[in-house]
Every structure is written in C-alpha cells, then in structure tokens.
Amino acid sequence: MLGKTAGGLFWMFRYLERSENIARLVNAGFRIALTRFDAADDEWASVVETTGVKTLYLEQHQQFDAASVIDFLLRDKTNPSSVISVVEAARNNARLVRASLTREVWEATNNCWMTLKSALARPVKERELPEVLDTIRKHSAQVRGALHGTMLRNDIFNFARLGTFLERADSTARILDVKYYVLLPSANYVGSSLDNVQWETILRSVSAMRSYRWLHKGDISPMGIADYLIMDHRMPRSLAFCYAKIQDNLRYLSDDYGFKTPCHDIAESVYARFSGQRIDAVFDIGLHEFIEEFLHDNAALYDQIERDYRFYE
C-alpha cells in the first residue's frame, strides 16, 4: 500500500470521528443552555476550548453566545475543525484513497458530505439544531457501519481504525483536560449543583450518560466518572479502550508486514498506564498532569506512525 494511501485512510477516519465528536459537544452544550440558563455561556466557552480553536474563535467573536459558537463549530469554513471543514477533509481523503474503499464506504462518505453541505448551507436555526446534530451523527455511523460490514480486515482497515481511535482518545482526553477541576476530590464542590451540571455535561459529551447510570445504578461521583472515561475497558470512548484498539491494529500491521516500528513502543508504553491500573494511580500523579502527558504522548504516537509508515515523505 502507498504511504499516501495509509495517510489518507488514517485522516479520512480521523476527520469523520472528529465530526461526530463535535456534534456530541455541541449537543451537550445545547442541553445545558436549555436547562441551566446561568451556566450556558461558560459552557459554550469550554466547548470551544475543548475543540482546540479558542484563539481562532476569539479573533472573530467577543462572546461565547450560543448562536456564534454553534455557527463557528458547525459551519464556519475558516475554522479547520468545524463540522463542514472536517467532513469536506474526510471526503477529500476518501477521494484520494477511493480505490481502497468499498463502494458502500465511498458512497456513505460522499452522501455524508452531500447531505451536510446542504444542511449547513445556511445558519442553523435553534429549532433545527437537534435534527442537524442527529444527521451528523447518523452519517458518521453509516460510514462506520459500511466499514465494518464491507471492508477486508487488512492494512487498509487497520489504518482506518488507527485514525478513528487516535482521534477519539484525543477528544476524550481534551474533554477531561478542560473539565478536570470538577473531577478533583475537593470537598468544597462535592454535592453542589454546579458540579452535578458539570458531571452531567462530561458524560453527555461522550454520549455516556445512560450507560454510566446503568452501570453505576445512578450513583454519579467525580472519581467514578474519571474512572469510566480513563480506565473502563467496556466504555468505547475511554482512553483504555481506545489504546487497546490502537495496540490491536498496530499488532495486526506488524504481523502482516513482518516488522515492528518505533510507534509500537510508544503505543505499548501508553497502554501500560491503563492495563491493570486503577484510577487511584491517576489521582496520585494528579489528574491534570496525567491528561497533559497523555495528550502529548498521543500526539507523539501520531507523528511516529506518520514517519514509520511513510504517510508523506
């Protein structure tokens, strides 16, 4: 496989994952705005921060009001991480690697782009927002469904999955990075209504409100949430889950190609922080420090994969 093709597959699925994650964040922010009026603007500010485009946003806007934030995150083409930008980037990558995709995967991606291009052609009205967010999630799910249902399990599949899980791990870690302080075991906040809102938002941002409640019989605690998002192997957006998948896919690649590369070592050392570990260990290091280091290593892993498999030069 061409190095460029590997890179194209990786980024195609990384961008698709990102579009879905942005839709989740906007959905969580929207929910807070509708139910907790006083917390709304702060919440929109942290949504923008989570997507990593706060500086860019502040160059164009003074406040974090719902309309501006939603427009910026969904349809502003000057924002490289807006849904429309990432869906277009995903589709361009799909065109680049089209010969590696099944017809189903290509069509799902192309339809995603065509539908969202028209759904996001004009500013999204408040009453249309739930439907638009739903459309984004559904289309992303359709591509994933086509991938699982129709693609060969070979290196093509592995690079697609690596893109998905590196992005997902990055997204979950960013959510924790922005909100880590509400999860600290500091007595001052325990039980205050502010924290309940924040905890709820965190869970909603990863679409895990229901599953968490179900697993923990409704008992929401900051330590429980941190454990769920970092260590829980059952939770498909947890860091532990993502790294188990990254490990698997890198192993399939080395089995297939018959050689290991330096990125395998990085992935192994990151995975060791989750495998057989307990959340207490994270709090011993410090939640913030742990997340910062994770984000750094996750980025370093990407750089190494890019070099090892010759995405560019």
Partner 1 sequence: MVEIHLHTYLVYLQYNIQKIDVNSTKPFFDEMFGRDDILRQPYRNYQKWIDDEDIRRLRKKSAEAEAYFRSTGITFNVYGQEEEAERLIPFDVVPRIISGYEWNRLTRGIIQRVKAMNAFLHDIYHRQEILKAGRIPVELIAENEVFVPQMIGVAPPGGVYTHIVGVDIVRTDENQFYVLEDNARTPSGVSYMLENRETMLQMFPELFSTNRVQNVSDYPKSLHRSLSACAPPACNGKPVVAILTPGIHNSAYFEHSFLADQMGAELVEGNDLKLVEGRICMRTTQGFTPIDVLYRRVDDEYLDPLTFNPRSLLGVPGVMDVYRSGGITLANAPGNGISDDKAIYSYMPDIIEFYTGEKAILENVPTWRCSEPEALSYVLDNLPDLVVKEVHGSGGYGMLVGPAASKREIRTFATKLKRKPANYIAQPTLSLSTVPVLTRQGLAPRHVDLRPFVLVSPGKIDIMPGGLTRVALKKDSLVVNSSQGGGTKDTWVLED
Question: What are the residues binding partner 1 (CB under 8 A)?
Answer: 1-4, 6, 92, 95-96, 98-99, 103, 106-107, 110-111, 114, 155, 257, 259, 309-310, 313
Q: Would the CA dihedral through 252, 258, 261, 264 be positive or negative?
A: positive
What crossing angle do the helices spanning 83-96 and 103-119 adopt, rounded to 10°? Answer: 150
Rounded to a whole number of angstroms, the minimum distance from the CB of residue 47 to partner 1 is: 31
- How far is the CA of 46 from the CAs of 83, 117, 256, in angstroms? 17, 26, 42
Given the complex with partner 1, which of 41 and 107 has the nearer CB atom? 107
Rounded to a whole number of angstroms, the minimum distance from the CB of residue 287 to partner 1 is: 37
Rounded to a whole number of angstroms, the minimum distance from the CB of residue 100 to partner 1 is: 9
Rounded to a whole number of angstroms, the minimum distance from the CB of residue 298 to partner 1 is: 21
Nearest to 193 by CA among 52, 36, 9: 36
Given the complex with partner 1, which of 6 and 69 has the nearer CB atom? 6
Given the complex with partner 1, which of 280 and 313 has the nearer CB atom? 313
Rounded-to-integer distance, Cα 122 and Cα 87, Å: 16
Rounded to a whole number of angstroms, the minimum distance from the CB of residue 215 to partner 1 is: 39
Given the complex with partner 1, which of 37 and 259 has the nearer CB atom? 259
Q: Would the CA dihedral through 275, 278, 279, 283 be positive or negative?
A: negative
What tokens appear for 222 in the block? 């900051």
Given the complex with partner 1, which of 112 and 202 has the nearer CB atom? 112
**Sequence-distant (≥ 6) Cβ neighbours of residue 132 within 8 angstroms:** 74, 119, 120, 124
